[in-house]
Amino acid sequence: MESQKSVNFMRLLSDESTRTTVSSDSCEYYETEIYDLLPSVQACRAEQSRYGPSEGSEDDPEHAEGGSHGYRSRGPRDKTSVPPLRNLPLCMQGKRGVRERRKMQISRIGVWASWRRSHSIICRRWWGHMGEWFSGLLPWKHTLHKIEGRVGVGVKSYFVFLRYLIWLNLLHCALVGGFIVGPTAFHSGNRKTELLNMVKNFSALDVFLGTGFLENSPLFFGFYKHSSLRFSCLNTPLLYFAGIISILLLSLIMVIRRTTVGYKHTWMVGKRYSTNVSFKIFCSWDFTIQDPTAATLKHSFIRNDLKLFLQEQSFSLRKAMRTFGQKLRLYLLRFILNLIVLCLLGGAFYLIYFSTHVSQQKTDDLSWLVNLLYQYLPPITITFVNLVLPHMFRKISSFEDYSFTTQVNATLVRSIFLKLASLGIYLFFFFRKLSEACRENRFGREMYKLCIFNFLATFCNTFLLSYPRKLLKEKFPTSLLARLSGKQRFLIPFNVLDLVYVQTVSWVGVYSCPLLPLIGIFTLTATFYIKKFSVLRCCMAEQRMFRASSSSVLFHFMLLLGLLMAAVTLGYDFHKQQYPSSSTSSSCGPFGSEETVFNVTGECVKNLPAAAQTTIRYLSSEAFALPLILAEIIILTSYVSRGRANTKAIDRLKDMLVMSSSDKRFLVMQHATLLRSRKVTSRSHCSSGSGGQPGGPEAAGT
């Protein structure tokens, strides 16, 4: 009977407890009368008295051994989740006891189950070692560790995001090479001499403008002819269309996966659980820091994080104490500031329209330098707007009397809208005035110039502005120009926005410029080293804590918006495509005289077997929509049910944590009361012992 009521507690071991000579029998605690006074036991019994003993009673051995909180035991743990002995926080004597108990458990479960358990543990450890080995093969691992040790995990998140975009473009290059470039190069051997003749007429201006030999190279849409590969289900138009759709679908899957995983982490950590001040003080240190300067910076991070928390609290109190007149003046001020933001956006869009209109005028009679400037006028305008206006938005948000978190979010939202809308406005006016025979080549050249100029702007900003500014600060720190320039900060959100803009340009132009992902790999790799130089040599980290876990969701959501813009642009281009029987247009691109992207699969489907044709017609008909919708409803219902069950489990675990804290507090109070009673008892015994001597103190003194 006593064994059924035994309660097992896990004791936290320290250095003093491991050096003690107490036997292992003292590690087991048994139920006493104080067990009935625990808050968790009283709450559980009150719940059982209300709803009845439906979840087990005290006579049930499984329920009695479920722990001190009165919850039903969940049974034996998963066998694959048993930690190794070396990872247990126990002394050698405790580890020997754990090993003996595991041997006894293995002898009880049988030979086959024991072998399966040991085999699963070995496989899990092997896969863990393989994962560590593959993670060691990732590029720039030591560089990222160095950056994290110097300036913290926030700046490292930028470089991790940059490496993710490089891997994404590498997958795009594999798809382009397998679907588009590879088959065309294999079946068009007679065009190699033509390419060699065009390379002889090389000009440096053609590299920047995408004209000359580059215009008729595999870089652009017009190189891939319909006659390169001609089979029923293996032809150039079908492979080209399949390659572009594969790139967009792969990007959609990867970006949605990263967005949902980050959102789940943010929802679990940021919404369901609140980090109090004790957590910020005792659990905020980054143990990967190796540099003393980085340690000082981390101290300032923690200090500023606490300041930010106190500022949020004081802002909430100040917001609650606002009068009606103060609220009215504040709303009027915010309205005026938002009008200023709209005016800035309108002026930026007009500059983009004006630069697009000017760049499309004929400038053949001008010099090559003026012609180059005219051709690059829209990229220069877009880059200038995206560089200046976000800092103005940041300054405007400081006057709107929002909290710091709301200020950062408002600046990011305005900057996102600026970057995507500026690109959209440019594409809109460009398509309206595009009237060339091979419009895809012209559009591909524009995306090529945007990508090239953005990289040139990054290079010039680092080596022509940031580095001389840093040298001026070091050589002449007391000069007026050095004091006016101030300290350089590496603003993580704005730099990530530049990466999102570059990837959006790559997605938008991949149809007209299939090798744009390859150019993106080279530019992003060079950007990695340029930004590394800027971080380690020129800039200082932001003094306020950057929450990379919560902001990564916003960054991947921006990527999703950029991918949506690319899909809309591609759909509009498909809709506006016209391939009539024109000699000029039929020779441009893989699609023939009467072929479009909507009927390239018709010839392939006609040559398939009858069963395959029937299946494809059924999958593309309205009759397949009903079972597809039913399957989606069933899957969504299962996921919603699982989410609700997980929510209930999380709420129950939170209640268990709260009751565990209450039990600890109650036991500490009881222990303090017991110590005080023992002190009082010892003092009374001492006083009674001293008073019982013959003659009392005076007699003892005499």
User: What are the CA-CA distances from residue 447 to residues 249, 262, 351 (Å)?
Assistant: 21, 30, 18
| Residue 77 pLDDT | 44
Write out 147-213 in H/E/C secondary structure.
HHHHHCHHHHHHHHHHHHHHHHHHHHHHHHHHHHHHHHHHCCHHHHHHHHHHHHCCCHHHHHHCCHH
Question: Using the 8-state DSSP alphabet, how is residue 433 labeled?
Answer: T
- For the residues 540-565, what does the mean pLDDT come to? 71
What pLDDT, in 10s, does the model give residues 638-667? Answer: 989 988 898 888 888 888 888 888 888 888
Write the CB contacts of 651 (distance below 8 Å, at least 6 apart in sequence).
none
| Mean pLDDT lowest among 129-133, 303-307, 540-544 | 540-544
Write the CB contacts of 419 (distance below 8 Å, at least 6 apart in sequence).
386, 497, 500, 501, 504
| Residue 51 pLDDT | 55
Please determine, for residue 516, whether its predicted confidence score (pLDDT) is greater than 80: yes
User: What are the CA-CA distances from residue 197 to residues 193, 202, 209, 219 (Å)?
Assistant: 6, 10, 19, 16
| Residue 583 pLDDT | 40
Q: Report the DSSP beta bridge partners of residue 490.
A: 541
Which one, of 97, 98, 64, lies nearest residue 82 by Cα?
A: 98
| Residue 30 pLDDT | 38
| Residue 268 pLDDT | 54
Higher pLDDT, 435 or 316: 316
Cα(595)–Cα(588) distance, integer angstroms: 12
pLDDT band at 80 (very low <50, low <70, confident <90, very high): very low
Question: Using the 8-state DSSP alphabet, how is residue 599 labeled?
Answer: S
Cα(460)–Cα(519) distance, integer angstroms: 19
Which one, of 58, 37, 41, 36, lies nearest residue 659 by Cα?
A: 41
pLDDT band at 61 (very low <50, low <70, confident <90, very high): very low
Length of the chain: 702
| Residue 474 pLDDT | 83
Which one, of 279, 277, 314, 280, lies nearest residue 299 by Cα?
A: 280
| Residue 446 pLDDT | 87
Tokens of 525: 């790799």
What pLDDT, in 10s, does the model give residues 86-132? Answer: 777 777 878 888 877 777 665 566 667 777 777 788 888 888 778 77
DSSP state letters, 51-120: H-STT--TTSHHHHTS-TT-PPP--SPPGGGPPPGGGSS--HHHHHHHHHHHHHHHHHH-HHHHHHHHHH
Cα(564)–Cα(423) distance, integer angstroms: 13
Tokens of 306: 């606490």
| Residue 74 pLDDT | 38
Please determine, for residue 585, whether its predicted confidence score (pLDDT) is greater than 50: no
Please determine, for residue 263, whether its predicted confidence score (pLDDT) is greater than 70: no
Write the CB contacts of 281 (distance below 8 Å, at least 6 apart in sequence).
302, 306
| Residue 431 pLDDT | 80
| Residue 174 pLDDT | 92
Asked whether the beta carbons of 518 and 170 are under 8 A apart, the reply is no
User: What are the CA-CA distances from residue 169 to residues 207, 344, 676 (Å)?
Assistant: 21, 34, 70
Asked whether the beta carbons of 663 and 35 are under 8 A apart, the reply is no
pLDDT band at 69 (very low <50, low <70, confident <90, very high): very low
What pLDDT, in 10s, does the model give residues 216-261? Answer: 788 888 888 776 666 667 777 888 888 999 999 999 999 888 887 7
| Residue 71 pLDDT | 39
- For the residues 281-301, what does the mean pLDDT come to? 73
| Domain residue extents for the chain | 156-304+327-541+550-575, 608-658
As a whole number, the mean pLDDT across the chain is 76
Which one, of 416, 365, 350, 356, lies nearest residue 386 by Cα?
A: 416
Most confident of 144-148, 430-434, 531-535, 675-679: 531-535
Higher pLDDT, 171 or 149: 171
| Residue 363 pLDDT | 64
User: 652-678 burial by CB neighbour count: b if 16+ within 10 A, else e?
Assistant: eeeeeeebbeebeeeeeeeeeeeeeee
User: 471-487 burial by CB neighbour count: b if 16+ within 10 A, else e?
Assistant: eebeeeeeeeebeeeee
User: What are the CA-CA distances from residue 455 to residues 68, 378, 449 (Å)?
Assistant: 63, 15, 10
| Mean pLDDT lowest among 310-324, 393-407, 621-635, 687-701 | 687-701
Which one, of 599, 444, 438, lies nearest residue 506 by Cα?
A: 444
| Mean pLDDT lowest among 169-178, 192-201, 486-495 | 192-201
pLDDT band at 76 (very low <50, low <70, confident <90, very high): very low
pLDDT band at 543 (very low <50, low <70, confident <90, very high): low
What pLDDT, in 10s, does the model give residues 586-636? Answer: 457 777 656 677 777 777 777 778 888 888 888 888 888 888 899 999 999
Tell me if residue 9 falls in helix, strand or coil: coil
pLDDT band at 341 (very low <50, low <70, confident <90, very high): very high
Write the CB contacts of 149 (distance below 8 Å, at least 6 apart in sequence).
288, 289, 290, 291, 294
| Residue 587 pLDDT | 52
Q: Tell whether the torsion through CA atoms of 682, 687, 693 and 697 is positive or negative.
A: positive
Question: Which CB contacts under 8 angstroms, 24+ apart, belong to 271-274?
Answer: 272/650
Q: CA angle, 274 as apex, 271 and 275 as ends, to 5°?
A: 130
| Residue 652 pLDDT | 86
Write the CB contacts of 392 (distance below 8 Å, at least 6 apart in sequence).
344
Computed over its alpha carbons, how large is the radius of gyration of the chain?
35
Tokens of 510: 């991949």
Cα(213)–Cα(201) distance, integer angstroms: 7
User: What percent of the chain clears pLDDT 70, i.e. is strictly above it?
Assistant: 73
| Residue 550 pLDDT | 55
Please determine, for residue 25, whether its predicted confidence score (pLDDT) is greater than 80: no
Write the CB contacts of 195 (distance below 8 Å, at least 6 apart in sequence).
213, 216, 217
- For the residues 469-495, what does the mean pLDDT come to? 81
- For the residues 171-181, what does the mean pLDDT come to? 90
Most confident of 342-351, 537-546, 660-669: 342-351
DSSP state letters, 328-352: HHHHHHHHHHHHHHHHHHHHHHHHH
Burial of 192 (0-12, 13-18, 19+ CB in 10 A): exposed
- For the residues 576-593, what does the mean pLDDT come to? 57
Cα(298)–Cα(635) distance, integer angstroms: 46
Which one, of 371, 409, 415, lies nearest residue 392 by Cα?
A: 415
- For the residues 309-330, what does the mean pLDDT come to? 85
Please determine, for residue 140, whether its predicted confidence score (pLDDT) is greater than 60: yes
Asked whether the beta carbons of 540 and 490 are under 8 A apart, the reply is yes
| Mean pLDDT lowest among 14-23, 163-172, 222-231, 453-462 | 14-23
- Helix 377-397 × helix 404-432 angle, to 10°: 160
Half-sphere exposure of 504 (CA within 13 A, CB side): 28
Higher pLDDT, 580 or 420: 420
Asked whether the beta carbons of 407 and 492 are under 8 A apart, the reply is no
Higher pLDDT, 168 or 375: 168
Q: What share of the chain is helix, strand, coil (3-state, %, to 5)?
A: 75, 0, 25
Please determine, for residue 517, whether its predicted confidence score (pLDDT) is greater than 90: yes
Which one, of 266, 317, 241, 275, lies nearest residue 603 by Cα?
A: 241
